[in-house]
Structure 1
């Protein structure tokens, strides 16, 4: 559709000489009701005497009598120069230019300059209405693809008929972004959206965000191959597979042919007369995650997925919680095995949920690690922990703080820059920050993880392997990683008094000492266990016996650093 321009709206008018009497001007306007005013040139500017202003003058509201006014020249009523725009100006740009004028001038028509030097006059009302409609459309449209966005989908009227939602998520899209850059990823998403919109008709395609799309069919009776009274599962599954084939490409992105693989979840209304679109999409989303997990390509929602369905809003709620600063940190001490003095603290996140109270990390971290929200969450935790440690340092309590990094965070190339920026902002010495990573996080991408940990180590940040003994870290890899601390998992500490398990702990202690690593025992619950671990060569001890995780103020109370 062609963008409307001012030439489509303007009414051509001849230039009126500035010395023309107002009586003649009034006669012209009375004889041509379509004219919005007259245009004149004076002092190297164009001026508009609009019909509204002239009516006020003729009515005597501006101090002129009609008889006196008729003898005056047009020049005597000239105010500020008119807003003059080329005839090719789009309506949106023209509306914005008109609305940027001072309040008394916003509604005055525009003077339009045609290519041949003639002029016209255009009203402001249609321009502003056009711009308003465009803004409304933009609020419901995905900027990147032009498809409807999440708001557009969820604001649709509830369908009166049997409806279906098909949620589509591209597989390994992050790898494409990493390889071809975000511009290449955006180009691929645009290509996929065009193919999807064409293939899903008469249904409509929407982009929820990232690489996730929804096809919404408000009336399954119009879906090809689906009989109004027949079960929709089989034909919808076939339609789903057809859609996935239709969007697979290949597409050429930055000169590279890319074939798209995707997973799909399908949900169909359950016969209610006014089904809820939001609930339908949430169910399809749960089915899509099942298809991605089980690598089945297409899955239908069923009741067994309801447990996962209950957590579908967790990502959104977590994003809101981060923005509202509902995530708080508690700090647990690590003590010297011999002196029992606090040597460092570990920052542990809690969620102060407005309705559910204080939630432990197990209630939300596993879900967060399955989505991109883990990056925002980690940045928030890092920021609070580093700033708190810097505050303690300035107060004379130079206690290092440890922060956990999940596998997706360690795999991200922005974590190093984030930490460098935080240290520079707060002035905290790099050696006062410890990053803790699990064996499984390291093994997700060993080479890249080692590079990131090495970069952190080079600036002085210390590195600890957390939950050691529960993952798959080989001794060979352990010798290659830039590690300062080894934290033995609490499951081994709990069995330290069993002879067979004690042998394992002794072996880990000898290995850590041989590699020059600081050896930490987690989950120390009593003095007998603490003494045994100390005798085996452990350097640091952590557990409820020495202190539970506490808020920052409680962590610095008397007796904490004992």
Structure 2
């Protein structure tokens, strides 16, 4: 049978039609589950649905287990057993277009097997050479028969075992459960079985875990008792315990994981509600941990996390627990606090113990600081709320400069709600094309001619109007939206540059690159393809990179800039003078424009600032760079910058950010000029 991806039947061969007792016309075009609905108690349709969904999801064949299916034939259901295989049929693009459902009808063999099993159940249950131990328990609950395999479980010979109570070798703590198991088997009636897991104690004291199946055969004169099948599952039990521990334990540090923490926090807040004792959550984040991973390697980062977890655990009270929530984020759960201040003191101890120098092996060291958020409650908040409050405090600690402790308060809650609302609205803005580009002209200082324009992001909020980037870009960075927003901005800027070029001439376009974009290895090739798609000359595009990016990884940034420069794009170092740029870096980076930080412009009347500006301006031509002063707000600043030799300038004194049409009009009015090269 062949199915479409909508699970409707496309074709069925004669053998399939004969097997199900239907006419071909009853099948073609119908959904397979309309044709084969489940009868009460049958599981065929559910198993088939799961297999088909798996094939559609993975694109891989799926061999199903023996399928018990009730098929409607002439108004009645017939019991069938099939061995089905579902195989994807892919189209030219490699996508699953149809599914081949082939089955082997083993109904006759299965019926024969089941009949044989029923007739031989009595004998199989008493087989002498079974791997499982088999016991018969008489009316007085004494052992009347024990198979040879029983010796392995009890560690002694079987002689004299008869007439012992069957609980003689059951662990004392499980005797009540063992008795209840037999009681339940008797209540179930003849031939019915019940199961349970018990512990038995061998003669040498070794503890074994066993699965026990009890079946009532008291009405069988040949048995006259309860048949107990006992299987040693000690190894399986140990694996299950290990898996359970792994499910609640962080594999790297050995500390409890997020799952454990959330369950423990739920229990702690419930106890707090009953006792009135404060419960606290301390949330910890390693400052700039990604830099350690990126520069020293993941093994060094892992070693840091292991040592960090150990230091924090050593600093805690016995009743406190540190858990690793994921990445470099840890949480501490503290109960039975005397006051909310106790949670802050715990955070202070953690900061003192875990801040400092870490030996990462192979001669590597890292100095670690922590950002910490603290929240406490007395029975009024659930675990999720308590953790969210600590997260809000942690967020504030990061925003305030990191390496600090912040305690949650109601104002933080309002800020958190505002941030979440802003994030949701920003995601909607990206989807609904609410972002826009405005353009700030860049002029030549000697004649005030427009030679370029910087693309500046704005958000046309449906309720709050036009928003500047400072009000939403920090949220975009936190929410991981910058790669998408940055790609959108580059695409729109290239499109506008193409329009200006088609009109005959236009200003050189300056576009900012976010740190998240510069880290994408394929960025140079992607923007080159985009420029070709829009028909834009790469020389008319100048990418701006903030000086602050250089502090993170100068080598990686340099490699990306060299590749961009090789493709013909211009490169500008933005905010020059705001960070710690070494002059040697300017020699290494393939820049052609230096954009002086607006703080120089603001203090341009100061003689010291003038000396610095003149030195930078004079240095530019030597390195093959021109200079642009940002933030020009007054005619006096513009004149002083011109006198100091600064080539170009931008700012509100020259022109506020405006529409592309306004920039084009001004550009056309000016004389023919060249953009900085």
Asked if Structure 1 and Structure 2 have the same fold, meaning a TM-score greater than 0.5 normalized by the shorter chain, the answer is: yes
d(CA) in 1 for partners of 2:501, 2:71: 70
Out of 581, 604, 622, the residue aligned to residue 473 of structure 1 is: 581
Write the distance in 2 (CA, Å) between the matches of 1:183 and 1:407: 24
RMSD: 5.9
After TM superposition, give the deviation of residue 284 of structure 1 in Å: 0.7
Counterpart CA distance in 1 for 2:324 and 2:74 is: 51
In 2, distance between residues paired with 1:392 and 1:149? 59
CA 1:497 to 1:298, structure 2 compared with 1: closer, same or farther past 3 Å? closer
Matched, 1:167 2:286: no
User: 2:441–2:452: 8 Å Cα contact kept in structure 1?
Assistant: yes
Distance 1:420 1:362 in 2: 29
CA 1:281–1:537 in structure 2 vs 1: closer, same or farther (change >3 Å)?
Answer: same
Partner of 1:462: 570
The reply to whether residue 53 of structure 1 matches residue 68 of structure 2 is: no
| Structure 2 equivalent of residue 301 of structure 1 | 408
Counterpart residue number, 1:392: 500
Cα distance in 1 for partners of 2:108, 2:505 equals 72
Question: Which of the residues 265, 269, 275 maps onto 2:381?
Answer: 275
Aligned residues: 447
On the 8 A contact 1:330/1:552 being kept in 2, the answer is yes
Pairs within 5 Å for 1:396-411: 396-407=504-515, 409-410=517-518
CA offsets per residue over residues 24-44 of structure 1, 9 Å max, x none?
A: xxxxxxxxx97899xxxxxxx
- Tell me how far apart the structure 1 counterparts of residues 297 and 74 of structure 2 sit (CA, whole Å): 61
Q: Identify which of 618, 625, 629 aligns with 1:521.
A: 629
Asked whether the 8 Å contact 2:280–2:376 carries over to 1, the reply is: yes
Cα deviation 1:116-150 (Å, max 9, x = unaligned): 99689xxxxxxxxxxxxxxxxxxxx99x9995599
Check the 8 A contact 1:334/1:342 in 2, yes or no: yes
Q: 1:507 to 1:265 in 2, by over 3 A?
A: closer
Report the Cα distance in structure 2 between the residues aligned to 1:179 and 1:344, rounded to whole angstroms: 37
Tell me which residue corresponds to 2:656.
Answer: 548
Contact 1:263/1:288, CA 8 A, preserved across alignment: yes
1 CA distance for matches of 2:533 and 2:353? 50
User: Of the two structures, which has the highest relative contact order with CA contacts closer than 8 Å and spacing of 6 or more?
Assistant: 1
Residue 529 and residue 203 in structure 1: after superposition, are their counterparts in 2 closer, same or farther (change >3 A)? Answer: closer
User: Is 2:366 aligned against 1:347?
Assistant: no
Query: Residues 400 and 434 of structure 1 are in contact (CA less than 8 Å); yes or no, is this contact kept in structure 2?
Result: yes
Structure 1 residue aligned with 2:199:
none
Q: Give how far 1:368 is off.
A: 4.9
Q: 1:485 aligns with which of 587, 593, 615?
A: 593
Equivalent pair of 1:48/1:111 in contact (CA under 8 Å):
no
The yes-or-no answer on 1:333 pairing with 2:333 is no
Question: Could you tell me how far apart the structure 2 residues matched to 1:432 and 1:56 are?
Answer: 77
- Tell me whether 1:265 sits opposite 2:373 in the alignment: yes
- Does structure 2 retain, via aligned residues, the 8 Å contact 1:112–1:119? no
SS of 2:75's partner is helix
- Which of 256, 265, 287 is the matching residue for 2:393? 287
**Does 2:541 align with 1:437?**
no
- Alpha-carbon spacing, 1:350–1:183, altered in 2? closer, same or farther (3 Å): farther
Relative to structure 1, is the Cα distance of residues 101 and 238 closer, same or farther in structure 2, using a 3 angstrom cutoff? same
What's the CA shift for 1:437?
2.5
In structure 2, how many angstroms separate the alpha carbons of the residues matched to 1:203 and 1:502?
57
> Over residues 178-221 of structure 1, what are the superposed CA-to-partner deviations in whole Å (9 max), with x where a residue is unaligned?
3698999999999x99xx9xx999999795x7654667x7xx7x
Distance in 1, matches of 2:637 and 2:294, equals 47
Name the CA distance, whole Å, in 1 between partners of 2:428 and 2:260: 19
> Secondary structure at the residue paired with 1:389?
helix
The aligned residue for residue 378 of structure 1 is 486
In the aligned structure 2, how far is the partner of 1:428 from the partner of 1:186? 46
1:267 positional shift = 1.0
Unaligned runs of 5+ in 2: 1-17, 22-39, 45-65, 87-97, 116-246, 252-256, 671-677
Shift of 1:331: 0.8
- Distance in 1 separating the partners of 2:344 and 2:657: 51
The question of whether the paired residues in 2 share the 8 Å contact of 1:350 and 1:360 is answered with yes
Is the 2:506–2:667 Cα contact (8 Å) retained in structure 1? no
Counterpart secondary structure, 1:331: strand
CA distance in 2, matches of 1:342, 1:49: 79
Question: Which residue does the alignment assign to 1:84?
Answer: 84
Per-residue deviation at 1:345? 0.9
Contact 2:397 2:404 in 1 (8 A): yes
Aligned partners of 1:463 and 1:484 also within 8 Å? yes
* Whole-angstrom CA distance in 2 between matches of 1:525 and 1:560: 24
Q: Distance in 1 between matches of 2:574 and 2:368?
A: 37
The answer to whether the 8 Å contact 2:344/2:407 transfers is no
Cα distance change, pair 499–387 in 1 and its aligned pair in 2 (3 A): same
**Partner Cα separation in structure 2 for residue 233 and residue 276 of structure 1:** 20
Alpha carbons 1:407, 1:440 under 8 Å: kept: no
Cα 1:84/1:427, change in 2 over 3 Å: same
CA distance in 2, matches of 1:318, 1:527: 37
Partner secondary structure for residue 84 of structure 1: strand
1:84·1:112 contact (CA, 8 Å) conserved in 2?
no
Corresponding residue SS for 1:524: coil
Task: Give 1:399 deviation, angstroms.
Answer: 3.1
Secondary structure in 2 aligned to 1:53? strand
Contact persistence 2:632–2:651 (CA under 8 A): yes
Q: CA deviation at 1:549?
A: 0.8
1:267-324 CA-to-partner distances (Å, cap 9, x unmatched) read: 122x4x6536665334312333466677768654357867965765355654454344
CA distance in 2, matches of 1:239, 1:519: 48
Once the two structures are superposed, what CA deviation does each residue of 1:81-134 show, in whole Å capped at 9, x if it has no partner?
967369xxxxxxxxxxxxx999xx9xxxx98999999689xxxxxxxxxxxxxx
